[in-house]
A and B are shown apart, each in its own frame.
Chain A
Amino acid sequence: MGKTLVHTVPIDYVMIAFIFVFVLGIGFLLKNRTKTGEDFFLSGRSIPAWITSLAFLSANLGALEVLGMAASGAQYGGTHFYWMGAMPAMLFLGVYMMPFYYATKVRSVPEYLKLRYNEATRGFNAISFAVMTILVSGISLYSMGLIFQVLVGWSLTTSIFVSAVVVLIYVAMGGLTSSIFTEVIQFFLIWLGLLLIPVLGMVELGGWDQMVSRLPHGFAHVWSHMGTPDSNAMGIDWLGVVLGLGFVLSFGYWTTDFLVVQRALAAKNLRAAQNTPIYAAYFKMIVPFLVIIPGLMAVALIPDIGKAGGPSYNLALPLLMERYYPPGLMGLGLTAMLASFMSGMAGNVTAFTTVWTYDIYQAYIKKDASDAHYVKVGRWAVVIGVIVSIGTAYIAADFPSIMDYTQLLFSFFNAPLFATFLFGMFWKRTTPWGGFWGLLAGTLAAVLLYVLIPEGYFASDQAGNFWRAWAWVAAAVVTVLVSLFTKPKPESELKGVVYGLTEKVTYAGHAWYKRPGIQALMVCVLLVFLNILFW
C-alpha cells in the first residue's frame, strides 16, 4: 500500500460502485435486443447522430487521452492537438470519406480495403489492427491501475480486474450498442466529474490573465511562438505542426482507425453517419478546456512538476484533483476517471471483436457459418480480448518501456494507412498491389525511422513524432510507383468505392442544420476563430 495521495471515505466508494452498477444494468437491458450479427457488431445501423457522435468522441476520450493531454498541456502548452490536429481530420472524414465507408455497406475498415484493393491488404491491416488494439487496450489498463495505485492505494490487481471484468460483461451482453450507450453516459460523467477542476483552478489563480502570467512564455498561445523551433517547448516550427500533426498523424488516426470509424457505421443513415464526426467536432472543440487548461494550471500551481524530483507530467490532472476535491467530490472525480477509462477500453474491445470476427475468423477460419454462430464467436472474442488485455497489462507492469514502444508502433500503422486510403478513394488508377506494397513500405519506413534515429536527436519526443510523418511520404511514393506498373481493377468493380466513379449525394432538400456540408463549414469558421483568438 504505502503512502497515497488521496484519503478516501466510504461515500467515494458508493459513487464508484454506482457507475459500475449503472453500466452493467445497461448491458442487461440491451442483452435481449441484441440477436443478429448486425445488432451485435453494428448496432443494427439504427442509432441517431447525436448519440453516435458523442460515442465517437468518448471512445477516444480514454484515460490515456485525458491524462496524456493534460500532461501534454503541462509539458508543451498550446492546443494544437485539438484545433490543428483532430478537428480538420474529423470534418474531412465526415464530408468526404464517410460516403464510401457507409454506402458500400462494409462492416469494418479492413473490409473496405478488400473491396478497394485485395485480400492481402485487408489481411495485413486486419491482423496488425487486431494485435495492436488489444496491446494498447492492455497498456491503458495498466496505466489506469497505476494511477489508482498512486492516488488511492488500490493494488494493481484490484483495479485491473474490477474494471476489466465490468467492461467485459456489458460489452459481451449488448455488443456495440452497449458500448455506445455507456460511452455517451460516461461522456457526461467525465464532464460532470472533471469540469470543476478548471473552474476552481481559475478561482485560485484569479482568472485567465493571472494564470498566463505564471506560465512559461507562449504556453497559452497556439501559433505565435511557432515561427522557429527554438521559440517553443515542442522544438518544432509551424510547418512541422501543420504537415506532421495536422495532416498526416491526425488524418491517419481519425479517418482510418476503426475504433472511431465503427461508431459512425452504427448510425441510422448516411446523413447521420456523415454528421457523426462533424457533430463530434463541435464537442472536440471544447475538450481542451477540460484537459489542456488543467495542464497549464498544473504548471502555474505546482512549480516542480516534470522537473527532477518533482511529480511526473502524467499526474497533472490527478494532482489538481487532490488539491481541490473534498471527499465526496473526490469520489465523483475518481468515477469520472474510471468512466473515461472504461469507455476507451470498451471502444478498443468492440473494434477488436468486429475485426477479429469478420476480417479474420470469417475470412480465414470459417467462411460459411450462420449469423448466430458469428455472434457467438463475437461474444467469445470479447472475453478473450479482455483476458489478453489483462495479460498485456501485467507484461506492461514488468516492461514499461517496451509497452511505450508498442503504442508508438501502433501510431505508425495509421500514418501510412492514410496514404493507402487517400489514393484508394480519390485516384481510381491505384492498383490492388500498389495499395498493398505502399502500405507495407510505409509501415516499414515508420519502424525504421523509429529504430534508426537515435534518441535525443530531436528537440523533444513530440518533434520526433511529428517528423515521422515521412512514413506517409514513403507509402504514397511506393503506392504510386507500383500502381503505374501493375494492372488496375476494372472500373465496374470500383463503382461506389472510388470518388470519380460514385454518384455524389446531395442534401439540398434538407434544413441547413441537418446538412453535413453546412455543419462542417460552420465548424471551420469556429475553428479559425478559436485559432485567431488564442493566436
Chain B
Amino acid sequence: MQGQTRWLDLRFLIGWMFTIYGVVLAGYGLVANPQVEVMKGHNLNLRTGVPRFVFLEADKKRETGTPEIQRQRLMGELLQYPQPSRYREGFFLLSWKSFFKRQTNMVESIYSENL
C-alpha cells in the first residue's frame, strides 16, 4: 500500500521525470556534445541535464536522513517524527530551492562566459 501511494504522489513522479530527462541529456552531452551555429562552444545538453539530475539526488539523500535519524528510526524512537508525506513535502520545497539556485548559477555562468 505504501509503495502504491508513493507512485500516486505527483511530487514523486515529477521528481523522477526530471531525473530521467536530466540523466539522458547530461549523458548525451558528455558523450556527443553536439553544437549549434549560434551557441558555439557551450555544451547545452550537459548544462541543462546536470542541474536536473543533481536536484533529485539531493532530494533522495535528505529523505533517508542523517545516520542518527536512521538509527533512531530503526530503534522505533521516531515512529511519529518523519511522517512520510509531510517529511517529503518539506524537502520537496528545500530541493526546489536548491534547484532554482543551481538554475540561476547556470544562467549566470552562460552569461559571464558570453561577456
Contacts and interface: CB of A to CB of B under 8 A. Distances in A.
B111 interface: yes
Query: Which of B7, B10, B20 has the most chain A CB atoms inside 10 A of its CB?
Result: B10
A185 B7 contact: no
A15 B21 contact: yes
Query: Which of B8, B18, B21, B32 has the most chain A CB atoms inside 10 A of its CB?
Result: B21
A199 B110 contact: yes
A372 interface: no
A15 B10 contact: no
Interface in B1-30: 7-8, 10, 13-14, 17-18, 20-21, 24-25, 28-29
B48 A196 contact: yes
B21 A192 contact: yes
Given A185-B17, A199-B107, A326 B35 contact: yes
Query: Which of A9, A51, A196, A328 has the most chain B CB atoms inside 10 A of its CB?
Result: A328
Contacts of A535: none
Contact of A51 (B10, B18, B25): B10
B17 A203 contact: no
A488 interface: no
Contacts of A199: 107, 110
| Interface range on chain B (Cβ under 8 Å from partner) | 20 to 34
Given A11-B28, A184-B10, A326 B17 contact: no
B44 interface: yes
B24 A14 contact: yes
Contact of A324 (B29, B39, B111): B39
A390 B69 CA distance: 55
B25 A328 contact: yes
B38 A328 contact: no
Nearest to A188: B14
A247 B36 CA distance: 44
Contacts of A327: 32, 34
A325 B111 CA distance: 17
Contact of A189 (B17, B25, B35, B39): B17
A502 to B, nearest CB: 33
A297 to B, nearest CB: 12
Contacts of B32: 11, 327-328
Interface string B99-115: 00000000100110010
A181 interface: yes
Contacts, number: 76
A203 B45 contact: no
Contact of A192 (B10, B18, B38): B18
Contacts of A15: 21, 24
Contact of B38 (A11, A204, A329): A204
B10 A329 contact: no
Contact of B17 (A11, A188, A324): A188
Nearest to B25: A328
A14 B114 CA distance: 31
B34 to A, nearest CB: 4
Given A192-B52, A199-B107, A185 B14 contact: yes
Interface of B: 7-8, 10, 13-14, 17-18, 20-21, 24-25, 28-29, 32, 34-39, 44-45, 48, 52, 107, 110-111, 114
29 contacts: A11-B24, A14-B24, A29-B7, A29-B8, A33-B8, A51-B10, A181-B10, A181-B13, A184-B10, A185-B10, A185-B14, A185-B17, A188-B17, A188-B18, A192-B21, A199-B110, A203-B110, A323-B38, A324-B38, A324-B39, A325-B36, A326-B34, A326-B36, A327-B34, A328-B32, A328-B34, A328-B45, A332-B21, A332-B48
Question: Closest 9 CB pairs between A and B?
Answer: A326-B34, A328-B45, A328-B28, A327-B34, A326-B36, A11-B28, A203-B114, A329-B44, A329-B45
